[in-house]
Structure 1
Amino acid sequence: MSKPRARVDIAFPFRVDRRGRTAHAGHEEHVRDLIEQVLFTNPGERVMRPDFGCGLLDIVFTPNSPELAATLELSVHAALQRWLGELVEVESLDVTADDNAVRVRLQYLLRATGNRRDEIFEGSAL
């Protein structure tokens, strides 16, 4: 009986590995890459999925306020739930904007493995 192979997904951003093949990523890294895509893709950017993403980079130059932070956290949570809800369960989310960057601190549970992750995602409008 052969040993089961570990799950391998396509790496993001798409690239070619040193063997000339599509680069792969482990499941946890792949899910992190998917989260990054949801966070920093603006709605309307994807041709076949015009409602994909949450447009965080649009708020970089918006004045900070408690209302904006609460609205952002709600919209980010909703986007993650919609697009990745079968892969992750969001446990904690904190969105901050300063100067020309957005920072998202996200704690989540990987549904496939039960592992908890604590990640920081940063994006810049420049």
Structure 2
Amino acid sequence: MDEDSILGTGWNFPVSFDNLNHRTVMVSGIEDVKQSIYIILHTTPGERIMEPEFGCNLKQLVFENIDESLHSKLNHVVYHALLNYEPRVKFIGTEILEKVEAAGILHISIEFSLIITNTRHNLVFPFYFKEGTNI
């Protein structure tokens, strides 16, 4: 069995369509997992009417001072969101890679392992920490 069949297949995010076959573009394997994590982190609890607790409450961290306290809070919020809504991964930790003050962006590395294959992966998530940015 290959990793793609073990991890599943889902719609590409954002949803797009193949013009040749007139079908929804699908993703499989680790790309499906990473896109799922992005959806979880970008969704604020309460946005989905049928599943009001789904998501990650990163917006509560906007305007926080960028220090060890923020890093601890990031770990806590992301850990619980992935624990509750992405059963294919085990959260390892976050690391603040870069702060772009002018744009109001923190680049956060999220490290996780796939439970079924025990392989480590990471993705870089842009966290907008200033008012008027795109969180």
Gaps of 5+ in 2: none
Instruction: State yes or no: 1:17 paired with 2:18.
Output: yes
Does the residue aligned with 2:39 lie in a helix, a strand or coil? helix
Moved over 6 A (4+): none
Asked whether 1:55 is paired with 2:57, we answer yes
Q: 1:79-90, aligned counterparts within 5 Å?
A: 79-84=81-86, 86-90=87-91
1:16 is displaced (CA, Å) by 0.9
Offset, 1:98:
5.2
- Separation of aligned partners in 2, 1:54 and 1:98: 22
Instruction: State whether residues 72 and 95 of structure 1, in contact with CA within 8 Å, keep that contact through their aligned partners in structure 2.
Output: no
- Cross-structure match for 1:114: 118
Q: Give the aligned residue type for 1:45.
A: E
Look up the SS of the partner of 2:17 in the other structure. coil
1:40 to 39, 42, 67: 42
Structure 1: unaligned runs, 5 residues or longer: none
After superposition, the Cα gap between the structure-2 partners of 1:123 and 1:116, relative to the gap in structure 1 and judged at 3 Å, is: same
Aligned residue number for residue 66 of structure 1: 68
* Percent identity (aligned): 26
Partner Cα separation in structure 1 for residue 51 and residue 11 of structure 2: 20
Q: Which whole-Å CA distance do the structure 1 matches of 2:74 and 2:28 have between them?
A: 29
Pairwise CA RMSD: 2.4
Give the Cα separation in 2 of the matches to 1:62 and 1:93: 16
Aligned pair partner of 2:31 in 29, 32, 37: 29
The total of aligned residue pairs comes to 122
Q: Please tell me whether the aligned partners of residues 60 and 101 of structure 1 are also in contact (alpha carbons under 8 angstroms).
A: no
> Quick check: 2:16–2:25 contact (8 Å CA) kept in 1?
yes
3-state SS of 1:116 partner: strand
